[in-house]
Amino acid sequence: MRIGFVGLGNMGAPMAANLVRAGHEVAGFDLAGPWVEGVTPAGSAAAAAEGAEVVVTMLPGGAILREVASAVLPSMGRGAILLDCSTVEVAAAREVAAQAAAAGIGCLDAPVSGGTGGAAAGTLTFMVGGDEDAFATCRPLFDAMGARAVHCGAAGNGQAAKICNNMILGVTMLATCEAFALADRLGLSREAMFDVVSTSSGQSWSLTTYCPAPGIGPSSPADDGYRPGFAAELMLKDLRLAQQAAEGAGADTPMGQRAAALYETFVEREGGRGRDFSAVLPWLAERGRG
């Protein structure tokens, strides 16, 4: 397929490279101008979209998505598809989908899970909202960039699935880190706690796959000085998106609200920016009960 790709950052660059490796013709644009082997550089987002059957976007927020959509949709032919893999507010995804539909263009919101490692390995999970026919058309692209793609329903539902998933992730990571910090204070070794909890009712992905305690369980960012696989500021962004959606929907999410507040403190006042989201463990362990 002929693909336009806008947003060649830490996630977008390896995703575009995987499309090239799968045999697709990719023209790419990014304001920072990174070069991706096999991707034809375009002078603008609109230029990347010209003649493309699918335009993939991987952008940092809803405002930029709206701006890019306004730039690329006029360059896309009727029947083409805008495939947005950014994580943005549900309202922005639905607004862009309506704008695309008015121009006769398909639109999918398809945020991802798997981080930069999954982007490089081509093992991302896509949570997709939008038209089923557009989803089927983009299946080869999902297969090239990821291991799984789940159609979640109408426009915006991909974003809804992503923020619900990451609200769970944020809450369980905090609970896991709190438990390790408490175990430290009680004289329970981290190894013993892991061995018990990983096979008991407290088991979670945050513990067994992405353990925040270094030297325990499978390799994780904790074993690399908490260099981010998923940065704390990105978790904060997703938790804020979840709270924005909850407020709009009238949903009560007290744990999600508290998780957002704790990550806000960690990122904006306690040096967490640029560290992995699991680095709340040393922060909590050092802080003690205030």
Active site residue 162: yes
Contacts of 11 (CB under 8 A, 6+ apart): 58, 85, 112, 116, 119
Question: Residues 24, 94, 151, 162: which is the catalytic one?
Answer: 162
Taking each helix axis as running N to C, give the angle between helix 232-249 and helix 90-102, from 0 to 180 degrees, rounded to the nearest 10: 80
Q: How far apart are CA 43 and CA 46, in angstroms?
A: 8
Query: Which residue type is seen at 65?
Result: L
Q: Which of 19, 166, 142 is nearest to 85 (CA)?
A: 142
Look up residue 156 and give its two tokens: 């915006």
Contacts of 195 (CB under 8 A, 6+ apart): none
Q: How far apart are CA 159 and CA 91, in angstroms?
A: 9
Q: Count other Cβ atoms within 10 Å, centred on residue 66.
A: 16
Q: How far apart are CA 94 and CA 73, in angstroms?
A: 15
Q: How far apart are CA 98 and CA 129, in angstroms?
A: 13
Specify the DSSP class assigned to residue 43.
Answer: S
Contact 87, 64 (CB under 8 A): no
DSSP per residue over 37-95, as a string?
A: TTPEE-SSHHHHHTT-SEEEE--S-HHHHHHHHHHHGGGSPTT-EEEE-S---HHHHHH
Angle at 259 (CA atoms; ends 84, 10), nearest 5 degrees = 35
The residues assigned a catalytic role are 162
